[in-house]
């Protein structure tokens, strides 16, 4: 399955699981399986940024509230999620990033990471007035009535303060086991795990069910604690207890990586002694002042990270090795395994990364191997179990010829990767064409992976140029399986329409290494047409704002290849646009060019995609979050936290939709 298809498939799977979990209060897969799907999607989207989409579940915190039964309420301050890691090396890297940003050593607070339902509670003069779920991070469900039925959540605090606090509703393991026993006796479906049970319970319209199930809640955060005179996160945890709010009663202040490692090792061994589920530990910078400096991404705070306990390793037999060829020709070894269940899912294949990794781990065909899925795109082979060898195992031989086209493989100097140098290798052609026709490139509908594979197989496509010759084979295309007359007509129309794509999209479609959508736009604006770009020296390229050494060298080398120049000239002959249209160029305005734009609230005159395209057409840049780098915030109806943050920063120009329309004129 190719990257685009796999990403779309993962998004559908995750959205389906979100629907069952958040709307029907059911879990089709385990918590760990769900986390792996999400991690797999995030890794793929990072690896293939051309397929990123703001609507992707990887870009949204929590769940969609489309079918919620509860009233939706906007959070005054967004409820972000935490970045996850599974190894101490990344914890150390996090510590270095923090201290580089704040310019000094820092204290860290290490807490247990509970596995339940995140909530945000508001108290006025010490009285509980509202309780919201995380929801999608910006908007939550009003669960106040159900929250009032949880005995460990006080309706009145010990001090009459105005405060917003965050916590985790959990179902104790002992209660979970009792509930499942009763449900089993009644012939009802049992809950998959305590987290799903807690989440499903809180979304019951009958508050009496919440009361019966003896849910518990632990608090871990005070929103805007500085207004209460608090300067550190550790002080806020102590203050929560003082107010009568329950915490896990455990936190540890650490000053160095050794202290963090000791605490992590301790809880990895002791976590099973707790009466609630914990899937890891949360590491937070202690000082609030540092929180301000570090800030947040669109999804996660930069001042905190979650260390998740390693997944359980399982053993299975490595039956064989297969080889995959990527768009650039890199050959990747893949382990073919005796099917095994890992965290509730069946696994038959696992990554071996590269041939150096195989040698280092001494992995052989026929070995019993340990595999795990923690934080990986696909399951990976951890090690071979040499003690179980019988002598019949075979060493893995690095292939000398391409598994697809039989061309002799090469290894570039200083690189681990083995590559197929054949520019007409069917695997490379297929992946190049899939990239070329993708939505963010030439946007040609109707050329999916299977159709491209078939066209290559029957000799109708040998390179990108052949896409524009397909109109000569209309009748043959119509006779292909799963095509038909209408499908072929739509495909040919889409191919013709692609000739009108903007210069930056056509430049992106060429697949120049390290040139994504954003850089393609920068390069198109700086060069006006591809002939100018082809003439630029490395020094010229480095003068372009946003272009670094790696990109400059890559672009320069691309245009030194005569075959690439011939390809571009041939594409021009077919009508492909490699020039910034005069209208586009003339549209650029100083108040737009290079400026960062963001919109919030409901817009009356534009759809989201429309306003984004307009901003880009005038030379502006769309961003996804409020920060000091934002130039304009366009405000619609019912604007929320983005507006508030922009007002607090004081450096951002806040304009209405009408103001934006005037700017365009």
Residues recognised as catalytic = 113
Q: What are phi and psi of 76, to 5 degrees?
A: -65, -40
Residue 627, CA distances (Å) to 52, 74, 304, 624 in order? 21, 20, 18, 9
Residue 388 φ/ψ region, left for φ over 0, alpha for ψ in the -120 to 50 degree band, beta for the rest: alpha
Q: CA-CA distance, 367 to 226, in Å (whole number)?
A: 58
Q: Please spell the DSSP secondary structure of 276-312, one letter per residue.
A: S-EEEEEEEESBHHHHHHH-B-SSSBTTEEEEEPPPP
Q: Which residues pair with 324 in a beta bridge?
A: 332
Which has the closest alpha carbon to 112: 262, 249, 13?
249
Sorted by sequence, the CB contacts under 8 Å of residue 94 that are 6+ apart come out as 85, 283, 305
Sorted by sequence, the CB contacts under 8 Å of residue 49 that are 6+ apart come out as 516, 517
Measured distance between the N- and C-terminal CA atoms of the chain, rounded to whole angstroms: 46
Sorted by sequence, the CB contacts under 8 Å of residue 55 that are 6+ apart come out as none
Q: CA-CA distance, 277 to 638, in Å (whole number)?
A: 38
3-state secondary structure of 408: strand
The tokens describing 646, both together, are 């922009």
Residue 161, CA distances (Å) to 20, 225, 239, 240, 395 in order? 38, 12, 12, 12, 69
Q: In whole angstroms, what separates CA 195 from the centre of its chain? A: 22
Q: CA-CA distance, 452 to 629, in Å (whole number)?
A: 42
Q: What are phi and psi of 321, to 5 degrees?
A: -125, 135
3-state secondary structure of 596: strand
Which has the closest alpha carbon to 117: 166, 151, 84?
166
Asked if 381 contacts 357 with a C-beta cutoff of 8 angstroms, the reply is no
Cα Dmax for the chain = 80
The tokens describing 220, both together, are 């871990």
* Other Cβ atoms closer than 10 A to 379: 25
Q: CA-CA distance, 210 to 656, in Å (whole number)?
A: 44
- Residue 353, Cβ density class (10 Å: 0-12 exposed, 13-18 middle, ≥19 buried): middle
**Calculated CA dihedral for residues 19, 20, 22, 24, nearest 10 degrees:** 120
Asked if 235 contacts 222 with a C-beta cutoff of 8 angstroms, the reply is no
Residue 499, CA distances (Å) to 418, 493, 513, 563, 579 in order? 36, 10, 23, 21, 12
Pairing of strands 117-124, 163-170: antiparallel
Sign (positive or negative) of CA dihedral 469, 475, 476, 481: positive
Q: CA-CA distance, 508 to 576, in Å (whole number)?
A: 13
* Other Cβ atoms closer than 10 A to 548: 12
Q: What are phi and psi of 493, to 5 degrees?
A: -65, -40
């Amino acid at each position: 399955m190719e990257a685009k298809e796999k990403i779309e498939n993962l998004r559908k799977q995750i959205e389906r699981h979100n629907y069952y979990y958040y709307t029907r209060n059911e879990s089709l897969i385990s918590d760990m399986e769900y986390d792996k799907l999400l991690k797999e999607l995030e890794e793929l989207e990072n690896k293939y940024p051309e397929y990123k989409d703001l609507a992707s579940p990887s870009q949204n915190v929590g769940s969609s509230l489309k079918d919620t039964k509860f009233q939706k309420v906007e959070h005054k301050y967004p409820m972000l999620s935490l970045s996850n890691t599974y190894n101490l090396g990344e914890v150390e890297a996090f510590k270095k990033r923090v201290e580089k940003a704040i310019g000094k050593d820092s204290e860290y607070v290490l807490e247990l990471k509970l596995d339940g339902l995140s909530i945000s509670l508001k108290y006025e003069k010490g009285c509980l007035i509202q309780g919201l779920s995380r929801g999608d991070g910006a908007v939550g469900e009003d669960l106040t009535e159900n929250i009032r039925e949880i005995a460990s959540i006080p309706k009145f605090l010990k001090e009459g303060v105005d405060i917003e606090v965050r916590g985790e509703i959990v179902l104790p393991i002992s209660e979970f086991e009792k509930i499942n026993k009763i449900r089993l006796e009644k012939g009802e479906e049992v809950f998959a795990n305590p987290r799903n049970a807690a989440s499903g319970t809180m979304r019951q319209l009958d508050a009496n069910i919440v009361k019966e199930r003896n849910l518990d809640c632990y608090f871990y955060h005070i929103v805007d604690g500085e207004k209460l005179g608090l300067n550190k996160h550790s002080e806020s945890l102590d203050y929560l207890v003082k107010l009568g709010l329950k915490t896990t009663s455990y936190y540890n202040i650490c000053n160095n990586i050794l202290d963090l490692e000791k605490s992590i090792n301790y809880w990895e061994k002791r976590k099973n002694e707790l009466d609630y589920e914990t899937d890891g530990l949360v590491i937070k910078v202690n000082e609030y002042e540092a929180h301000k400096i570090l800030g947040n991404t669109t999804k996660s705070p930069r001042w905190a990270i979650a260390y998740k306990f390693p997944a359980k390793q399982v053993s299975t037999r490595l039956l064989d090795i297969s080889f995959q060829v990527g768009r650039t020709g890199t050959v990747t070894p893949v382990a073919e395994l005796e099917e095994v269940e890992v965290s509730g899912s069946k696994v038959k294949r696992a990554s071996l990364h590269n041939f150096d990794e195989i040698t280092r781990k001494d992995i052989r065909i026929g070995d019993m191997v340990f595999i795990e899925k923690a934080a990986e795109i696909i399951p990976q082979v951890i090690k071979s179990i040499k003690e179980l060898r019988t002598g019949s195992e075979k060493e893995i031989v690095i292939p000398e010829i391409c598994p697809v086209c039989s061309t002799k493989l090469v290894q570039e100097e200083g690189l681990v990767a083995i590559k197929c140098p054949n520019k007409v290798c069917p695997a490379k052609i297929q992946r190049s064409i899939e990239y070329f026709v993708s939505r963010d490139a030439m946007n040609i509908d109707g050329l999916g992976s299977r159709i491209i594979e078939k066209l290559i197989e029957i000799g109708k496509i040998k390179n990108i140029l052949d896409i524009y010759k397909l109109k000569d084979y209309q009748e043959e295309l119509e006779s292909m399986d799963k095509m038909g007359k209408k499908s072929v007509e739509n495909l040919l129309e889409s191919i013709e329409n692609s000739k009108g794509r903007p210069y930056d999209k056509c430049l992106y479609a060429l697949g120049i290494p390290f040139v994504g959508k954003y850089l393609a736009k920068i390069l198109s604006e700086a060069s006006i047409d591809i002939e100018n770009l082809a003439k630029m020296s490395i020094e010229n390229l480095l003068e372009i704002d946003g272009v670094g050494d790696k990109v400059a060298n890559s672009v320069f080398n691309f245009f030194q290849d005569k075959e690439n120049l011939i390809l571009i000239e041939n594409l021009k002959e077919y009508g492909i646009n490699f020039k910034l249209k005069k209208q586009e160029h003339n549209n650029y305005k100083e108040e737009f060019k290079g400026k960062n734009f963001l919109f919030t609230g409901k817009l009356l005159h534009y759809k989201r995609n429309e306003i984004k395209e307009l901003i880009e057409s005038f030379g502006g840049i769309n961003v996804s979050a409020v920060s000091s780098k934002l130039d304009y915030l366009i405000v619609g109806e019912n604007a929320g936290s983005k507006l508030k943050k922009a007002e607090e920063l004081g450096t951002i120009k806040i304009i209405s939709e009408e103001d934006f329309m005037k700017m365009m004129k």
